[in-house]
Amino acid sequence: MPRERVAALVEAAARAAIAEGALPDVALPAVALERPRDAAHGDYASSLPLRLARAATMPPLAIAAAIAERLPADGIVAAPEVAPPGFINLRLADGFLQGEVDRVIARGAAFADLAIGAGRRAQVEFVSANPTGPLHVGNGRGAAIGDTLASALAAAGYAVEREYYVNDAGAQTALFAETLHARYLRLFGREAAIPDGGYRGEYMADLAVEVREREGDRFLTDPGAPCPPALGELGIALMVARIRATLESFGVRYDRWFSERSLHEPPPEGGESAWGAALARLRADGRLTEREGALWLTAADLGEDKDNVVVRSDGRPTYFASDIAYHYDKFERRGFDLVIDVWGADHHGHVSRVEAGAEAMSERGGGLHVLLYQLVTLRRGDAVARVSKRSGDIVTLDQLIEEVGSDAARFFFLRSAPGSQMEFDLDLAVKQSNENPVYYIQYAHARLASMIDRAAAAGHSPEGGDAALLTAPHELALVRAMLRLPEAIELVATTFEPHHLARYGTELAAAFHAFNDAFRQQGDPGLKVITDDAALTAARLRLALAARIALGRVLELLGMSAPERM
RNA sequence: GCGCCAGUAGCUCAGUGGAGAGAGCGCUACCCUGCGGAGGUAGAGGUCAGAGGUUCGAAUCCUCUCUGGCGUACCA
């Protein structure tokens, strides 16, 4: 990455200044380069002189000068500038930028890939909504965040797996089964009451119809009888299939759908269940206590403020027990180095507990990172729409995708930081779907594709073009924008916040649009890509080709289509 | 009560302790004998919730207050 290389130059210059006695022998802090707001201040700026001033007991400007004049000349940066109160401003050299155009074309979409993951295994688990109802709009946020985060981690050099944790055990599952049972019986004219707190949504009636179509009357029982287990399992399976279809239409594919229930069963290859093994380990480490007939994970030396129940007094393990077993499985059995759980903020009370559990369970448990995203509040004009599966008043992700499209919906979710609350006005979203900023990025891609096609039809080829002919400010600005893609990927892979990529996409598209319209503003047809000058045309085609690669890569990471025409 | 997350332009939101605070939408004025106008340029619009503090430097870090969301289960 250019930034790293420039930072290394600054550090080398600072060391040289110390070695030559121009600076006192002070400890050098890590050289972090800032990106100046104002382009006139260059591509990068170092505030190192300001940080050193006190220890060195020298004026910052003098330090800046001492470092700047020792900057190795290796062709990456042009002559550095010193600016008050003590900045060193660094500008990428034209020759370097021109060479990068060729490098991007040669490497293709992988040009921005990084090695910071170093092949370590990462898992991103996201959405994982109970399969007791359709996904709602809030789940869409988790889906977009998790999926793009996984893509960014892969681009950063991790071996990434996407996983959906299917809650197919527990009280909610039982309630779902009983509701389905009642709906099913009603189809056959039996009197059957929806259980208290059961799922009231219409989709449950649809599901019962689907069951009848597939399996006929084989699940018929007396109205008072409990739900046949096979009916409950079928219901969950059908619901999971619907969720999977929704996510696929949202551009999300999982490597694995992990069953909660399987944690409590012996693995196919034999041996003890994950829960059994985890429990044995906790017991051996003396982390369990029995009280009031239940089994508790003790808070002591886990940094928790209270104990948590893992096995209820009736002998059934809690959801927390499943979570412990699940993370035991992730770290100890599957050996992930980095595990990211993407959760809605309504689960935040659970975070420290699970993190403490993971650390108690595995040496590698510190590799767990829970990424919380704030809930999406929905509005239709002035009315607040409630989101609740059990009440049945729900705006589904399917509806959102149908109304605004997958690309626009994903981009909407990816534009804001996970930690910020979002307000989603459905009326506005539909009304503005044609003005959605997502099209700004896609349109840039479509124009590039069309331009490249048109040039080919006119007999122009980027082959043999000389990127050194790219000297106009808008041309070089576009190259600069392309080269920030690896920085955006790094930011996402280290902060686990994918919205930076969405912001970057807008920035890159803006650089292209400005480039593309430059000749109009200046009334200079000479700035068009396809010109009478064959050599210049070939050079600009190379730039267009590289820009299209960068733009296509961003869209790919965001999980959006890269249209050739719109 | 306690805890977590937030409060930045009319609206929806960016902003890694660094140099006149940004984008999209909305508003105003311009720019096409066009490689695609779903575009570009310029402008109006801000007490970065408020008050202290740390720092050479704070929207950013710390403390308090106010406002909003969420949590505080032998539910998941």
- List, for residues A340-378, the tens digit of each pLDDT value: 999 998 898 888 889 888 888 888 888 999 999 998 877
The gap between A499 CA and B14 C1' (Å) is 9
User: Which of the four pLDDT bands, split at 50, 70 and 90, describes residue A392?
Assistant: very low
What pLDDT shows up at residue A372?
93
User: Which of the four pLDDT bands, split at 50, 70 and 90, describes residue A531?
Assistant: confident
In this predicted structure, the answer to whether residue A522 has a pLDDT above a threshold of 60 is no
**A31 with A46: CB under 8 angstroms?**
yes
CA proximity to A406, closest of A162, A142, A139, A140: A140
Residue with smallest Cα–C1' gap to B12: A423
Is the C-beta atom of A566 closer than 7 angstroms to strand B? yes
Is the C-beta atom of A83 closer than 7 angstroms to strand B? yes
| Structure tokens that stand for A171 in this block | 């009280």
Give me the percent of chain A exceeding a pLDDT of 90.
Answer: 60
Please report, in angstroms and rounded to a whole number, the separation of the first and last CA atoms in chain A. Answer: 33
What pLDDT shows up at residue A516?
86
What pLDDT shows up at residue A196?
84
Q: Which of A29-38, A265-274, A421-430, A466-475 has the lowest mean pLDDT?
A: A421-430
Helix/strand/coil for A240? helix
The gap between A40 CA and B42 C1' (Å) is 19
What pLDDT shows up at residue A378?
74
CA proximity to A278, closest of A314, A236, A332, A234: A332
What's the gap between Cα A429 and its chain centre?
22
Is the C-beta atom of A54 closer than 7 angstroms to strand B? yes
| Structure tokens that stand for A169 in this block | 């055990």
What is d(CA A28, CA A25) in angstroms, rounded to the nearest whole number? 9
**A517 with A411: CB under 8 angstroms?**
no
What pLDDT shows up at residue A209?
96
In this predicted structure, the answer to whether residue A211 has a pLDDT above a threshold of 90 is yes
Span A72-124, pLDDT tens digits: 888 899 889 999 889 999 999 999 999 999 999 999 999 999 999 999 999 99
In this predicted structure, the answer to whether residue A391 has a pLDDT above a threshold of 60 is no
Q: Which of A70-74, A236-240, A423-427, A504-508 has the lowest mean pLDDT?
A: A423-427
| Structure tokens that stand for A77 in this block | 């940066």
**A478 with A511: CB under 8 angstroms?**
yes
Q: Within 305-324 of chain A, which residues have Cβ less than 7 Å from strand B?
A: 309, 312-314, 318-320
User: Which of the four pLDDT bands, split at 50, 70 and 90, describes residue A521?
Assistant: low
The gap between A250 CA and B55 C1' (Å) is 47
Of residues A384 and A229, more confidence is placed in A229
Q: Across the strands, what pairs with A88? A: A46, A82
Total number of residues shown for chain A: 566
In this predicted structure, the answer to whether residue A236 has a pLDDT above a threshold of 90 is yes
User: Which of the four pLDDT bands, split at 50, 70 and 90, describes residue A390?
Assistant: very low
In this predicted structure, the answer to whether residue A385 has a pLDDT above a threshold of 60 is no
In this predicted structure, the answer to whether residue A172 has a pLDDT above a threshold of 90 is no
Q: Which whole number is the average pLDDT over A227-240?
A: 95
What is d(CA A309, CA A330) in angstroms, rounded to the nearest whole number? 21
Q: Which of A25-34, A143-152, A228-237, A363-372 has the lowest mean pLDDT?
A: A25-34
Residue with smallest Cα–C1' gap to B21: A37
- Secondary structure in 3-state letters for A413-447: HHCCCCCCCEEEEHHHHHHHHHHCCHHHHHHHHHH
What pLDDT shows up at residue A100?
95
Is the C-beta atom of A495 closer than 7 angstroms to strand B? no
What is d(CA A57, CA A26) in angstroms, rounded to the nearest whole number? 10
What is d(CA A285, CA A282) in angstroms, rounded to the nearest whole number? 5
Is the C-beta atom of A34 closer than 7 angstroms to strand B? yes
Kindly list the strands in the beta sheet with A288-291, ordered across the sheet, starting from the edge strand earlier in the chain: A288-291, A294-297, A308-311
Instruction: Give this complex's ipTM.
Output: 0.92
Q: Which nucleotides of B are covered by protein (CB under 7 A)?
A: 3-7, 11-16, 18-26, 31-32, 35-41, 56-57, 68-76
Segments in A113-170 forming alpha helices (H): 137-155
Q: Which of A21-35, A127-141, A182-196, A235-249 has the lowest mean pLDDT?
A: A21-35
